[in-house]
Structure 1
Amino acid sequence: MWALNDQTILKESVDAYNKDHPDEKITLRLFAGDDYKQKLRVAFGANQAPDIFFSWGGGALDDYVKAGKVDTLTDAQVDLLRFTPSVLKSATFDGQVYGVPANGLAPVVLYYNKKVFKDAGVEAPKTYDDLLTDVKKLKGAGVTPISLAANSKWPTLMYLEYLLDREGGSDVFDGIASGNASGWKDASVTAANTRLQELAKAGAFGDNASSVSYDQGASTALLYTGKAGMELMGTWEYANLVKAAPDFVKKDLGYVAFPSLSGGKGDAKDIVGNPSNFLSLNSKSKNKSAALTYFKNYVLNDSQVDAYLAAGSVPPVNKLDSKLAAVKSADDKKWLTFVYDLVQNSPNFQLSWDQALSSDQADPLLTNVDKSFLRQIKPEEFGTNMSKAAQ
């Protein structure tokens, strides 16, 4: 089995399986995220891929599925019905499931600093117009309205993902992801880029966003030190904030869903992000029975669910209400319930575009997102450029 080196709770499931199956142990290899995708591609190309492999679902997994390298999974084999349906979508192709969710839900939410908001006289935005109003007031109060690690590019993509969903609805990107290159020229794609540039022009992200990268924790620090009012980020940021600034989490951390958009076709309950990561089965594996036993009985079983909840992460399984009610920390319970309800009530959970699209589109996507953010291209040029990249 191959996975990423930050998957410590997932590793515990392997340890538990190995303890119970000393004659059919799983050998787990862990990799850094930047290297993993390339190593997996090379391994499959050389017919040396692992029996079980970790992925983000979406386009990259579908590439392997189309090449006949991944086995389908059924409810009878791995008890699929226990998982959140909107999450399974990212590992479902042509009606067949090719991966089991293996870790916590990671929708993207809007975090805010309650003290900064109070001092500036603003409230958490419910609509896009509210967001623009908050940006102007926070800027006037001398703080960066929204912390953004634009140097890393993928945090900027989160805005475009939400803005397109709110503008045109989930069908627009679903069409693009299914191979319709002309979908990039849809009017809602241009409108989403127009709004992204509108936010940048209004000073929403300050003057130095392009010099801020995410991995060093700089954008996170701007929020909890009060130098920024908001930050749009995945739910993993909660754990980062608890670790870096526990007092801030207890006193001043707020969070809401991304604002709705008046006149847009999208459902305000739609969310974007990483529904989960997945474990899939190599179609050439000689250990399929053992792998399926691991999937069914050890991946996100009761003890795994408890471990993820204790780490501030909501696993993508149904009927969590009683476990959430038993969480001792009031702050954690409020947070976990917020995330759980967000996902359970969402009609659509869109996988991040750079994961949903095939690997040959991911780099042009991030390049053009950055160009749009910097206003180096016109809003309509984004769609034109991406349409060419998708052909």
Structure 2
Amino acid sequence: MTPRMPSRVLITASAAALTITLSACGSSGRTAAGGSGDGTLAWALTQGSEATFRASATEWNKEHPDAKINYQYFQNDPFKQKLRTAVGAGNGPMLFENWGGGGLKSYVDAGKVADLTSDLDASPEWKNRIFPSVLKSTTFDGKVYGVPVNGVQPVVLYYNKELLEKAGAQPPKTWDDLLALVKKLKAEGLAPISMGGASKWPDLMWLEYLVDRVGGPEIFANIAAGKKDAWSDPAVLKAAQMIEQLVDAGGFAKGFTSVSADTGQAEAQLYTGKAAMILQGSWGYGTINTGSPKFVSEGHLGWTGFPAVTGGRGDATNIVGNPANFFSLSSQASAKEKKTAVSYLKDGVYNDTYVDNLLKNGDVPPVKDLDAKLKATDNADWTTYVYTLARDAKSFQLSWDQALTPELGNELLTRLDQLFLGQISPKEFCSQMDKAAAK
């Protein structure tokens, strides 16, 4: 799940058609031409933190003309396959954005990612300003293979205040509240929830939160550990049944399975008044603010945590999402490329200008001593909310499609999509995932 991300070099013509380059790209090698032709190429995601990356590269390249960083941008879904293909063929980018977890570990196990532990240890100021909990997502066997490059990304429930007021309703605090709100909104002729179902990964946010709220974080811990029949745990089955219940109740906007999550369509339904709510990561704030600054500035956007489930074992402060997106370095980087990349990650990422740009876009970086900057932002209510949410969460679960192996993550998205479409039952979902996990 999640907005999402990475980067590198030689790409096919079809991949090139999806990129938006900061500067002209070379046709071969592991660098991109940018005057001197020695730029280190980074692959990153469109939307999300793209504006910050662009500003950062402009600033960095002006100050370091002989050690440039050249970004190329991809939409989320095509990106993952392009990265897998490029890295597997040995001609991927030198820096690539990723979510850590199982996806990154597969590259690490294949020897494709450079160990950054010694670089971090050599610069305590760099290492110590990052929340230790965030680095856990890129740490395997005590070695660090990626550093965060944007903000913490908890998934929250956004809502259109005007539409809830029209229905005489408040944001839901419990699952029962949500079901009652769906009924009330439909009675007013309003679509309750927007979702980019065509991209599949937004479906996962609902399952992640419901499994946590029903059974607590240990349920997914068993799944991630490969415990036999973990997908048939009563909490997973119950969560799948609750998803079925919400779909059958008409909880999602008509045609949600054909709406893309990578183009801002789902968020647009919220700020144009076509849907009352959307469950989305914190990156959604930036998408909404870009799409309709007036909607945000006039105070029409609201947000709240995922509803509690009565009788459930999960703590209401638990959150899911991405602790951050990360940049990892190719193990094939030359000495010069590595020097440029590490220098940029250490001094170009999370410097004052970079942090200010993140905060301006609603992104809250996982760095210490941020209170003064948060209070000074125009959107202090939002940034402080996200910072507090991440800081106080008893559990911050990495998105399942990133925590699991790429193969199992893809299977999960396929089966979950079928559940939302009503093509398989909750019991079939659980049994099919158990079979996939046993392979």
TM-score calculated relative to the size of structure 2? 0.81
Deviations 1:253-277 (A, max 9, x none): 2110111122222121111122221
Letter in 2 for 1:240: T
- Displaced runs of 4 or more, over 6 A: none
Deviations 1:197-224 (A, max 9, x none): 1111222114433343334544323322
Q: 1:169 maps to which residue?
A: 216
8 Å contact kept, 1:54–1:279: yes
CA change 1:240–1:292 in 2 (3 A) is: closer
Q: 1:371 maps to which residue?
A: 418
Percent sequence identity over aligned pairs: 49
Deviates further, 76-85 or 142-151: 76-85
8 Å contact kept, 1:86–1:348: no
Q: 2:44 maps to which residue?
A: 4
CA change 1:205–1:102 in 2 (3 A) is: same
CA change 1:326–1:374 in 2 (3 A) is: same
Secondary structure at the aligned position of 2:229 is classed as helix
Letter in 2 for 1:154: W
CA change 1:121–1:27 in 2 (3 A) is: closer
CA change 1:150–1:25 in 2 (3 A) is: closer
Deviations 1:126-181 (A, max 9, x none): 12122122122222222122222323322222111111111121222233234446
Letter in 2 for 1:168: G
Query: Does 2:121 align with 1:76?
Result: yes
Letter in 2 for 1:273: G
* Rounded Cα–Cα distance in structure 2 between residues aligned with 1:42 and 1:213: 23
Deviates further, 35-44 or 256-265: 35-44
Unaligned runs of 5+ in 2: 1-40
Deviations 1:26-51 (A, max 9, x none): 45444444443334333333333443
Instruction: Please give the residue correspondences for 1:24-103 in structure 2 after superposition, counting only pairs within 5 Å.
Output: 24-74=67-117, 75-77=120-122, 79-103=126-150
Letter in 1 for 2:349: V
Letter in 2 for 1:121: G
Letter in 1 for 2:44: L
Q: 2:325 maps to which residue?
A: 277
Q: 2:373 maps to which residue?
A: 323
Secondary structure at the aligned position of 1:230 is classed as strand
Task: Quote the offset at 1:312 in angstroms.
Answer: 2.0
Greater RCO, 1 or 2 (C-alpha within 8 Å, sep 6+): 1
* Rounded Cα–Cα distance in structure 2 between residues aligned with 1:255 and 1:198: 23
**Of 322, 333, 344, the match for 2:380:** 333
* Rounded Cα–Cα distance in structure 2 between residues aligned with 1:109 and 1:265: 20
Letter in 2 for 1:3: W
Task: Quote the offset at 1:384 in angstroms.
Answer: 1.2
Q: How many residues align?
A: 388
Q: 1:260 maps to which residue?
A: 308
Secondary structure at the aligned position of 1:269 is classed as coil
Task: Quote the offset at 1:295 in angstroms.
Answer: 2.2
* Rounded Cα–Cα distance in structure 1 between residues aligned with 2:179 and 2:45: 39
RMSD: 2.3
Instruction: Please give the residue correspondences for 1:135-150 in structure 2 after superposition, counting only pairs within 5 Å.
Output: 135-150=182-197
Q: 2:279 maps to which residue?
A: 232
Task: Quote the offset at 1:5 in angstroms.
Answer: 5.4
* Rounded Cα–Cα distance in structure 2 between residues aligned with 1:61 and 1:344: 24
Q: 2:402 maps to which residue?
A: 355
* Rounded Cα–Cα distance in structure 2 between residues aligned with 1:30 and 1:77: 31
Deviates further, 82-91 or 194-203: 82-91
Query: Does 2:255 align with 1:200?
Result: no
8 Å contact kept, 2:44–2:96: no
TM-score calculated relative to the size of structure 1? 0.90
* Rounded Cα–Cα distance in structure 2 between residues aligned with 1:217 and 1:286: 37
* Rounded Cα–Cα distance in structure 1 between residues aligned with 2:301 and 2:107: 41
* Rounded Cα–Cα distance in structure 1 between residues aligned with 2:62 and 2:127: 24
Q: Give the number of the structure whose residues are more often helix, by fraction.
A: 1
Task: Quote the offset at 1:101 in angstroms.
Answer: 0.3
Query: Does 2:303 align with 1:303?
Result: no
* Rounded Cα–Cα distance in structure 2 between residues aligned with 1:147 and 1:36: 24
Letter in 2 for 1:73: L
Letter in 2 for 1:59: G
